[in-house]
Amino acid sequence: LAADAADNVAVAGVQFTIDGGDLGSEDASAPYSLTWDSNSVANGAHSIGAMARDTAGNTVTAFPVNIIVDNIVAPPPSTVLFSPSDDTYADSRNPTLSQGIKTTLLVDGSPIYITYIKFDLSSLAGRAINSAKLRVKVADKSNSTQVVKRVDDNSWSETTLTYSSRPALGVTVASLPGLKSVGSIIEIDITAEAAAKAGQIMSLGIDSTGTDGFDVYSKENATGKPELEVTAW
């Protein structure tokens, strides 16, 4: 916003207004202007004004300028819950056996059990991810630390994956706390990974850094199934 003001003595300042109320503070030096964010008012008709004040205290108000504010109002983010399309684990003791029909998913460092979970995020194409939380329910406790890792190969399925055919684990995207009690629900922040995979298939691996393994319920279990909660615009 800008206004011209002159006086036979001196102009002390110009106060801009909207709908009769002050906009910011008085501008005491020429050129008289104000940067105004129209998002600070509701869409619709408004009246912009300016009042000049001289050093003697006299004031004069300019004719108001009527405007229409028509900003695009962004909708609030919405929350979507995803269930795994596939989940299973690789068992080093039975390297050619698929574990896809089990109701629990195992994670351990000795013997080696690696859990794999896959989500179809195609419905998030073009959306901005605000947060993504993976939740699993503990079926067997552990004091070891487990990590969630990226899996770039999405060609696996729960009915065919074995230890021998398991896809490679990539970089670590999150860590699980060490102490996990039976029945507790572990919530893991994987926002960055979900944002990178929005509109695609996202596969994750859960690996153990120790030998005190733990189990979580799979999607085949009646309750406590893994889920991914995504909040997105």
> Which domain CATH number covers 49?
2.60.40.10
**Tokens, residue 136:** 């699993």
Specify the DSSP element, H or E, that contains 175.
Answer: strand 172-176
Is the domain of 26 the same as that of 90? no
| Cβ contact 62:50 at 8 Å | yes
CATH, residue 126: 2.60.120
Q: Which residues of 68-104 are buried (b: 16+ CB within 10 A; e: fewer)?
A: eeeeeeeeeeeeeebebbbbbbbbeeeeeebbbebeb
Report the pLDDT value the prediction gives residue 213, as an integer from 0 to 100. Answer: 87
Report the pLDDT value the prediction gives residue 212, as an integer from 0 to 100. Answer: 87
Is the domain of 60 the same as that of 86? no
Say if residue 179's pLDDT is above 90. Answer: no
Q: Total domain count for the chain?
A: 2
Mean pLDDT (whole number) for 82-111: 96
Is the domain of 122 the same as that of 216? yes
Strands 32-33 and 2-3: antiparallel
Is the domain of 159 the same as that of 216? yes
Is the domain of 16 the same as that of 62? yes
- 3-state class percentages of the chain: helix first, strand second, coil last, to nearest 5: 5, 45, 50
CB neighbours of residue 51 within 10 Å: 17
Question: In whole angstroms, what is the distance from residue 176 CA to residue 113 CA?
Answer: 16
Is the domain of 170 the same as that of 60? no
Helix (H, G, I), strand (E, B) or coil at 194: helix
Task: For residue 105, give its domain range.
Answer: 78-232
Q: Please list the alpha-helical segments (H only) found in the chain.
A: 191-197
CB neighbours of residue 231 within 10 Å: 16
Report the pLDDT value the prediction gives residue 181, as an integer from 0 to 100. Answer: 87
Mean pLDDT (whole number) for 72-78: 87
Q: Over pLDDT 70: what percentage of the chain?
A: 100
Report the pLDDT value the prediction gives residue 210, as an integer from 0 to 100. Answer: 87
